[in-house]
Structure 1
Amino acid sequence: MNEQQRRAELSEFLRTRRARLTPQQVGMPLTRRRRTPGLRREEVAERAGVSTAWYTYLEQGRDVHVSKSVLESIANALQLTRDERIHLSWLADQPLPPEPPPFVEAISPAYQRTLDLMEWSPAYITGRRTDILGWNKAASTVFGDFVMIPEEERNMLWLLFTESAFRQRFPARETFALETLSSFRATASQYLGDPRITAFLDRLRQASPEFCLAWEQQDVQRQCSQWREIEHPLVGRLTLEIASFQISGDPDLKCCVYSAAPGSETEEKLRGLLGFQKDDVGEQDSLLSKALMRR
């Protein structure tokens, strides 16, 4: 991200955080109808202990220096979350490498073997821009066959913000999409100037008005839901717990593993569904039949 892009991102982030706050949320008295949604710039400046002109310059994306203490005061004034504070610090302090790392992403055979060993847990690994780089058979069975998805669309953001079959399996698809986008923004801020990411985001804007609206909100959140519900065409509703891991040596790669609570109806359905693909046909047919009967 170059200097101009960084200041533009900082400007939009501050503006959207200010617009979402009401005077009542910060302890201000009720007044007559306001034309400005959220707080006014002068109100944020007063709460942060800086001049209105200086804060206006900062929000307009002008070239002004921000100290750590002043940045903390602004974060307090805007009631930012921990993740939003990290994002604000990144945008304001410019801890940027001179050149973005080369955009070549792949997982090693060892990681793919690890995914394959998780026979009863759907799992996949995503990259810097949420491309799905590896998955196991359980993931293809539960979420749909990733092999059948064109490589340029095999991406979590793309699948969740376009009318894909993958998206349709999640009853709370909008929440899942917004969480994925907020997580992406929190971890990929330093790469937003990468031309491959820029081109991908431009293509997604053209394909999804929903994405355009969500992107403009500037929301940042590292922690996503720990449970996800899936509507499978064969066995119906599955409720799965999510465990996410960053891969050692490459923090841009993230592994997501889904599992069923022991003894749950979902566990029975999942084992029946996945067991149907094993060699022991008699036992698996029985498991699948039980799962289908419980649907």
Structure 2
Amino acid sequence: MNPSAELSEFLRTRRARLRPEEVGVVPVPGVRRVAGLRREELAQLAGISVDYYTRVEQGRIRRVSDSVIESLAGALRLDQHEQEHFRNLAQPSRQASREPAQQRVRPGLRIMLDALTDVPAYIVGRRLDVLAWNEMARALVADFPALTPKERNLARLVFLDERAREIYPEWEHIARNVVGNLRLEVGRHFDDPRLAGLVGDLSLRSPEFRNWWAGHDVKSRTFGTKTFRHSEVGPVKLHFSTFQLAEDPEQKLIAYAAEAGSDAATALRLLASWNATLAPGPISAADPADAIDRS
């Protein structure tokens, strides 16, 4: 993926969502042929020349300065994650190497996952690959051991697994968040061929993904609630929290918990009880070397 093209489309779509009257800019006279702010209006708001902004948006500035990034981020009203994405695209020298090291989940973390017998939890890595999980996550989210390494990916599960719309009553909300998370991944690793392949595959096979991807929205939710519709215990509304691992910031532990005394807590106890009866033993990944997609 080309960071200059990504930067151009990102800035264009951010301009399109703002109108002059919303940001206190006097509209440029004449017939408006574009949605949102014109380039000259945004340049005026950010305090930079129209020519310079045009070159930034067209990807003709090799490395945009911090001061210009901050000015444009403020003018465009970018949130924290949008600013991060903007900076990654505007200063590509900050990116990781072209061949990121293969990710591994340390043994102690796998032991901890297996010890969480009543808390669904899994670890997500680069490209939203699911690297490890516990038995409760297998029972609630997906039967990860039955999937190929390529299929153990949150984006593929949400958009390409036909059961996703049954499992997630709020499917569109979750799917849009997945798109936003992938867009952040592209900013961080625009030169990752496997990430480009994932985006291309999803774009070909899912019209919803293709449509939302064109919007260049950036999102990252680290906590909140999510509802699952389980075939045996019914709707389960859980709180989730995401924890970034210190030893590998690109690995995140995602854990789900229910409010005490709630129907969801009862449902988790039932799942835990069934797992204790049926599970052959702790499962945190099919195999450490098989936890990533090698295709």
- The structural deviation recorded for 1:273 is 2.6
The aligned residue for residue 249 of structure 1 is 247
What's 2:19 paired with? Answer: 22
Query: CA distance change for structure 1 residues 115 and 64 in 2, over 3 Å: closer, same or farther?
Result: closer
Q: Number of residue pairs matched?
A: 277
Contact (CA 8 Å) 2:135, 2:275: kept in 1 or not?
A: no
TM-score normalised per structure 2: 0.86
1:225 offset after TM fit, Å?
4.9
Q: How does 1:72-87 map to 2 (within 5 A)?
A: 72-87=70-85
**2:3 aligned residue (6, 10, 13):** 6
Q: How far 1:97 moved relative to its partner?
A: 5.0
In structure 1, the gaps of 5 or more residues are 281-295
Residue number in structure 2 paired with 1:181: 179
| 2:257 aligned partner, one-letter code | S
Matches within 5 A, 1:255-294: 255-279=253-277
Give the % identical residues. 38
Alignment of 1:44-83 (within 5 A): 44-63=42-61, 66-83=64-81
Greater mean deviation of Cα atoms: 131-140 or 194-203: 194-203
Change (3 A) 1:224 1:33: farther
Question: What is the TM-score normalised by the length of structure 1?
Answer: 0.86
Return the offset for 1:101. Answer: 4.4
RMSD between aligned alpha carbons? 2.3
Q: Unmatched 5+ residue regions in structure 2?
A: 279-295
Q: What does 1:1-295 align with in structure 2 at a 5 Å threshold?
A: 5-28=2-25, 34-63=32-61, 66-97=64-95, 99-187=97-185, 189-279=187-277
For 2:165 and 2:110, locate their aligned partners in 1 and report how far apart those are by CA, in whole Å. 24
Equivalent residues of 2:230, 2:236 under 8 A apart: yes
In structure 2, what is the Cα distance between the partners aligned to 1:241 and 1:40?
42
- Bigger Rg, which one: 1
Structure 1 segments of 4 or more deviating over 6 A?
29-33
CA contact (8 A) 1:128 1:188 kept: no
Following TM superposition, by how much is the alpha carbon of 1:220 offset from its aligned partner in structure 2, in angstroms?
Answer: 1.8
Shift in Å at residue 203 of structure 1?
A: 1.6
Q: 1:165 deviation in Å?
A: 1.8
Matches of 1:148 and 1:196, distance apart in 2:
22
Query: 2-side partners of 1:163 and 1:178: how far apart?
Result: 16
Cα-to-partner distance string for 1:174-211 (whole Å, 9 max, x where unaligned) = 11122123233335522121112222222222111211
